[in-house]
């Protein structure tokens, strides 16, 4: 009985206090997630103003760069959400995190597929990827 009471007390405290903290990987607390964004076909989400502004800027940059839905996409360094937002198709594997795990996947892809792919990277220059060298 004591274990049940302790469990309920701890769970209730976590629910109440976590509503006022900044959630993991979110810029603002849940109470500030007031702006709506829609990611088709997933649905509509509430996010903070800064996240919504980043979302809008990403869409604008994609439009200005001529990135279209259903294009091949290489999101290097763990950014699968960009593929979802832009509605592009991850090539090989949606989460490519480092050179060691990425090179074997790229080595088995056709050079033409790689040349026509949109590449998004947060940390890796394309000249260091064998498939992009001198092609």
The pLDDT of residue 36 is above 90: yes
The pLDDT-based confidence of 44 (bands split at 50, 70, 90) is very high
Give the integer Cα–Cα distance in Å for 14 and 24: 14
pLDDT at 21: 67
pLDDT at 37: 93
Give the integer Cα–Cα distance in Å for 129 and 94: 17
* DSSP symbols for 4-56: HHHHHHHHHHHHHHHTTSPPTT-SS-GGG--EEEEETTTEEEEE-HHHHHHHH
**CB within 8 Å of 123: residues ≥ 6 apart:** 76, 77
Please state the pTM of the whole predicted model. Answer: 0.62
């Amino acid at each position: 009985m004591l274990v049940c009471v302790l469990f309920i007390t701890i769970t209730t405290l976590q629910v109440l206090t976590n509503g006022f903290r900044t959630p993991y990987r979110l810029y603002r607390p849940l109470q500030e997630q007031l702006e709506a964004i829609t990611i088709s076909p997933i649905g509509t989400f509430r996010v903070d103003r800064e996240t919504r502004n980043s979302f809008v800027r990403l869409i604008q940059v994609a439009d200005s760069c001529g990135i279209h839905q259903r294009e091949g996409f290489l999101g290097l360094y763990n950014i699968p959400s960009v593929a979802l937002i832009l509605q592009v198709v991850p090539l090989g594997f949606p989460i490519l995190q480092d050179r060691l795990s990425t090179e074997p996947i790229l080595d088995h892809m056709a050079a033409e597929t790689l040349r026509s792919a949109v590449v998004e990277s947060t940390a890796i220059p394309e000249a260091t990827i064998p498939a992009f060298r001198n092609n």
